[in-house]
Amino acid sequence: MILSVRNHLLYSGSSKIPQVPSPNTGGIFSPKFLIIHYTASGPASDVASYFAQESADVSAHLVVRRDGSLKQCVAFNRVAWHAGKSQWTGKNGTHYSSLNNSSIGIEIENWGPLQRTGDRWISWRGTNVGRSKVMEARHKFGTPDCGWEIFTKAQIAATVAAARAICAAYAIEDIVGHDDIAPGRKSDPGPAWDMKAFKASVRAQISRGNSLFGETVQVQLTD
């Protein structure tokens, strides 16, 4: 899948990715970071439509559903409300707080943490999540071991494609998780999201000779 950014909107070929505009936005900005989130929801809820409600008081630039389909809710040059109280130190030592003002947010449809009940895995909403969709792990910031819903291959492919397009269009300094910029307060995207592999995959395709994120990396691309 090859995506591109035109006029701050995501395109697949000559077709715009479906738009579900959110009113929950701030001003125009120049994004420096890409923040990965999970929605903490299942396929029955349409998070993009939720972001379209003013009462939701939150938004993200993109939503990736379990089938890998994408919806754009906020143009990439406009602040979306996905990061909340957050902070991060950039590669050159610059300190950022309230990362809504410096980052693009991608929300990936996923339940996040799951609790074991007997031989079943249950979401915070009480939904049963099939064993084949669950991995057990400890969050890097030390929460107890629990289950985590596995992201689908289609979601990973779509998110890589979107991130490549975004990194090609904007001076993105780094890609981080919501848990990185709000440790302890947020757990997403959590241990089921292989951030190292994701970043390598994004970087491998777009940089070819450049060094994105200030690192030199050698990756064998298989796609």
Our finding on whether 61 is near Zn ion (CB under 5 A) is no
The active-site residue, picked from 54, 107, 149, 173, is 107
The residue written with tokens 């999201």 in the block is 193
**Residue 206 Cβ vs Zn ion, minimum distance, rounded to whole Å:** 24
**Residue 152 Cβ vs Zn ion, minimum distance, rounded to whole Å:** 18
**Residue 106 Cβ vs Zn ion, minimum distance, rounded to whole Å:** 10
The C-alpha atoms of residue 10 and residue 81 are separated, in whole angstroms, by 19
Do the beta carbons of residue 129 and residue 66 sit within 8 Å? no
Nearer to Zn ion, 112 or 204 (CB): 112
**Residues in CB range of 63: below 8 A, 6 or more apart:** 20, 39, 47, 48, 51, 70, 71, 73, 106, 107, 108, 109
**Between residue 172 and residue 201, which ones bind Zn ion under the rule CB under 5 A?**
178, 188
Nearer to Zn ion, 60 or 134 (CB): 60
Nearer to Zn ion, 178 or 199 (CB): 178
Nearer to Zn ion, 123 or 205 (CB): 123
Out of 20, 33, 37, 96, point to the residue binding Zn ion (CB under 5 A). Answer: 37
- The question of whether 107 is a catalytic residue gets the answer yes
DSSP 62-128: EEE-TTS-EEE-S-TTEEES---S-EEE-TTS-EEESGGGTEEEEEE----EEEEETTEEE-TTS-E
Would you name the residues annotated as active-site residues?
107
List interacting residues with Zn ion (CB under 5 A): 37, 178, 188
